[in-house]
Structure 1
Amino acid sequence: MFTDHTTDTAPPAARKTMTAIETRVGRLPPAVARMAESPELLDGFLRSSGLFDASTLDPVAREVVVMTMATRNPCHVCVAVHTAKLRALDADEDLVVALTGSGPLPDERLDALRTFTLEVLRTGGEVDDDTLTAFLRNGHTRRNALEVVLGIGAYTMSTLANRMTRAPL
């Protein structure tokens, strides 16, 4: 249904972005090739995920938010890519395995982050004071709470687009 675009077949507005990704990664990931159908979505995802990467959440914490989104909106592409990213970050293997399940994470601070992310999603952002307090008590900040919203926004685009386009690994 969706085309695996190349820089020759993609809408003109997506070509510069695709070329940059291909140069940086060494290939054009299929998810990008399909997302390129909408240059606005492709650029929006890349910009918002770049902003999320620049947030004050540490790299493993950011991956916890991403994997929470990837498993909640079952996106096999995101789970595979971000499992590899966690391993590249030398994340504890028990954490990597736990992120694909529903049990608690072995790190209390990261478990509080996943719980908070799921509660933000469940309540449409209207988390109660006890939820926010529990999040803060586990070493996170009010700024981090808002950065979770940024991560949810970026990876909602990615997970839903990958599922809709049936992007392969």
Structure 2
Amino acid sequence: MSPFTAHTVDTAPAAARPTIEGVRRKLGHLPAAVGLMAESPELLKGFLTVNGIFESCGLAPIEREVVVLTVATRNECHLCVAMHTATLTRHGAAPELIDALRAGTPLPDCRLEALRRFTVAVLDHRGAVPEDGITAFLSAGYEPRHALDVVLGVGTYTVSTFANRLTGAPLDPPVAAYAWEPAGPV
């Protein structure tokens, strides 16, 4: 039995109530992951705040989703993969792009593939990306600020993926059609 409670506005710690009520109003429902994160009002508020900042960074919407799905698949967060697959679908992303991101395989778009590879390098090298990795990223048309935006996305979605996995956050009905499980050993 999990020690974590999927809180509602009525059961959440008082400091989390305004935050989860705001999410509920904005989305029309309270995602289970938000209710679970509400156990730590600071974690919930911190994630939502940093996520809002990431959403306004220099990366375009599809580029941000490349970063998010790269982190989510690497960290094996079934919930983030499903949620951000739905987001990419709403953005009209090509099915081939979505499938490759979900599989962790090279992307059909060279520029987005450079972004995916750079995100993997940030994760693999804990930020100390080798010079050739930075050069390849910049050669794809990205700017130094975008490299830092990737770090922001990695940090933001490390919080989310780790919290979702720790709490066992379930899929909500709106994203159930995008369910994902990590590939087993090859």
Q: Same fold judged by TM-score > 0.5?
A: yes
1:107 maps to 2:114:
no
Query: C-alpha offsets along residues 56-100 of structure 1, whole Å, 9 cap, x if unaligned?
Result: 100000000000011000011101100000000001110000001
Structure 1: distance between partners of 2:139 and 2:16: 43
For residue 102 of structure 1, report the CA deviation from its aligned partner. 2.8
The counterpart of 2:141, out of the listed 130, 139, 142, is: 139
Mapping 1:39-118, distance limit 5 Å? 39-118=41-120
Structure 1: distance between partners of 2:153 and 2:104: 20
In structure 2, what residue type is equivalent to 1:10?
Answer: A
8 Å CA contact 2:70–2:120 kept in 1: the answer is yes
Aligned partner of residue 85 in structure 1, secondary structure: helix
Higher relative helix content = 1
Where does the alignment leave 5 or more consecutive residues of structure 1 unmatched? none
Structure 2: distance between partners of 1:160 and 1:127: 22
Structure 1: distance between partners of 2:115 and 2:44: 27
Structure 2: distance between partners of 1:81 and 1:93: 15
8 Å CA contact 2:73–2:104 kept in 1: the answer is no
Structure 1: distance between partners of 2:70 and 2:123: 10
| Percent sequence identity over aligned pairs | 56
Structure 2: distance between partners of 1:102 and 1:78: 14
Structure 1: distance between partners of 2:157 and 2:131: 25
Query: C-alpha offsets along residues 19-50 of structure 1, whole Å, 9 cap, x if unaligned?
Result: 00000000000000000000000011001111
1:11 maps to 2:13:
yes
Structure 2: distance between partners of 1:58 and 1:64: 10
Q: Report the TM-score, using the length of structure 1 for normalisation.
A: 0.99
Q: Which residue of the partner structure matches residue 183 of structure 2? A: none
1:152 maps to 2:154:
yes
Count of residue pairs the alignment pairs up: 169
Structure 2: distance between partners of 1:103 and 1:88: 22
Aligned-residue Cα RMSD (Å) equals 0.6
1:121 maps to 2:128:
no
Aligned partner of residue 12 in structure 1, secondary structure: coil
Structure 2: distance between partners of 1:140 and 1:38: 36
Where does the alignment leave 5 or more consecutive residues of structure 2 unmatched? 172-186
